[in-house]
Amino acid sequence: MIALPSIAFEGFSGSAKGVTARRVGGRNILSVKAWPTGPTTNAQVARRTSMSKISKSWKQLTNEQMREWDRLAEHASSASVLGQKTEISGMNLYIRLNVNRAMAGEALLSTAPESNVAVPNVEFTQVIVTPQLVVLGGVRHQPAPYKLVVKMSASQSAGITNGWSKTVIISPAMEEDWGEADVTKLYLKTIGVEPVPGQKVFVEAYWMDASTGFAGLEARKSVIVTGESSYVKRMQVTMDDLDPAEEQHVSSLDVDFSTAAPALYFDTVCLGHSNVASSEVVLDKEIPADCLGRAYAFARGMGEDGSIHPQSYEVSMSNWARKGEIHFMHRGGKYIKPSEVFGPGITYNA
């Protein structure tokens, strides 16, 4: 980038033949026109479309609303928006915050937020990148309205030390899952190819306040992709673990063993079957030995007639023919189809 003092270039702006000129802070700046280094992703297209719509909507604000955005911009350096301390105009702040909010699925914010409250920094203990797993582990929880934004690069040569310009947004706004941010599917969807073992991936993460659009400072880490990882995901059974070849009697399934407490956690909708007051699921994998046994949990009816009867359910976890089976068996209260079994389940050996 070249800053030219010459009056010959005053008033000159725009791009021509690979050169871009613009006037910033009373100075004329010429720079080589930047071209994208890779193919445009769907996410980038969506983000640019969103940005274009938001930019146009600025003109629909009232004068008072614009003045409020200008006033907020005077107090908000863009460090809290993009991590780089520069001055920012009211319009640019309006666009940036609303683009952030749009990523989180929030509606357009016409009125400027009352103040710029500091957004916490992301803290995590590990980043695991293998071809099969891309996870931020040990993420320190932040309550709503904070959402986690993760940016990552495609695999780079292991010798590259600065690849931060190569990162793209992997997760626009996610809620970490009990300290774990598993972006494996999002990485593959955005980058298009699995991480390559032996190469380097650049990772950036920050919290975004979905209510205002303000973002915290980025936490950065570069990691070498490994072929395998010793990282063990928590023991949880969900709909993804059901055997498609078997008959299943639930419409949603979450059995989470990772409490390290005397009870596990259920969040399952049991549909029942035949004339039996129970629901069964068959998994495509075995249940680990230390998770086998029985549990008791509350359930509540979800009857089409509005029945919300409280119930008691006994749940058994077992293996049969190398497949895990979970049986949700009604034990008390009025049996309602369907019912949701939820909350803690005291566990004991069968």
User: For residues 179 and 197, which CB has a smaller minimum distance to other proteins in the complex?
Assistant: 179
Smallest gap from residue 113 Cβ to other proteins (A): 22
Among 166-174, 198-206, 220-228, 262-270, which window interacts with other proteins (CB under 8 A)? 262-270
Dihedral (Cα; 240, 243, 247, 249), 10-degree rounding: -30
Distance of closest approach, residue 153 Cβ to other proteins, in angstroms: 27
Whole-number Å distance between alpha carbons of 151 and 206: 9
Q: 131 vs 137, which CB is nearer to other proteins?
A: 137
120 contacts other proteins (rule: CB under 8 A): no
Neighbours of 52 (CB within 10 A): 11
Position 168 contacts other proteins (CB under 8 A): no
Note whether 157 binds other proteins by CB under 8 A.
no
Taking CB under 8 A as the criterion, which residues in 170-199 touch other proteins?
Answer: 177-180
Residue where the block lists tokens 């008691």: 312
- The string of DSSP codes covering 72-98 is HHHH--THHHHSS-----HHHHHHHHH
Contact stretch for other proteins (CB under 8 A) within 29-37, 107-115, 183-191, 334-342: 334-342
Max CA distance (Å), the chain: 89
**Per rule CB under 8 A, is residue 121 in the interface with other proteins?**
no
Give the x-and-dash track for 212-251 against other proteins (CB under 8 A): ----------------------xx----------------
Range in contact with other proteins (rule: CB under 8 A) among 4-12, 66-74, 200-208, 310-318: 310-318
Contact 283, 326 (CB under 8 A): yes
CB of 303 to other proteins, least distance (A): 8
We find the least distance from the C-beta atom of residue 116 to other proteins, in angstroms, to be 22
Q: Per CB under 8 A, which region of 20-28, 112-120, 122-130, 288-296 contacts other proteins?
A: 288-296
Q: In angstroms, give the least distance from the CB of 335 to other proteins.
A: 8
* Helix/strand/coil percentages in the chain, nearest 5: 20, 35, 45
> Minimum Å distance from CB 271 to other proteins?
19
CB distance 139 to 179 below 8 Å: yes
Q: Which is nearer to other proteins, 25 or 262 (CB)?
A: 262
Residue 348: C-alpha distances to residues 240, 257, 296, 341 (Å): 26, 13, 9, 18
220, 221, 273, 300: which one binds other proteins (CB under 8 A): 300
Burial class (CB in 10 A: 0-12, 13-18, 19+), 248: middle
- Residues 136 and 123: their CA atoms lie apart, in Å, by 10
If the CB atoms of residues 70 and 267 are measured against other proteins, the closer one turns out to be: 267
Q: How far is the CB of 171 from other proteins (least distance, A)?
A: 18
> Which span (9-17, 32-40, 53-61, 311-319) binds other proteins, by CB under 8 A?
311-319
Q: Are the C-beta atoms of residues 239 and 326 closer than 8 Å to each other?
A: no
| CB-CB contact of 202 with 167 (8 Å) | yes
Which one, 99 or 341, has the nearer CB to other proteins? Answer: 341
Say which residue the tokens 């979450």 belong to.
254
DSSP 168: E
Amino acid at 215: A
- Shorter beta-carbon distance to other proteins: residue 69 or 257: 257
Burial class from Cβ neighbours inside 10 Å (0-12, 13-18, 19+) for residue 330 reads buried
* Residue 65 binds other proteins (CB under 8 A): no
Residues within the interface to other proteins (CB under 8 A): 141, 143, 177-180, 234-235, 256-265, 267, 288-291, 293-294, 296-300, 303, 305-312, 314, 331-335, 342-344, 346-349
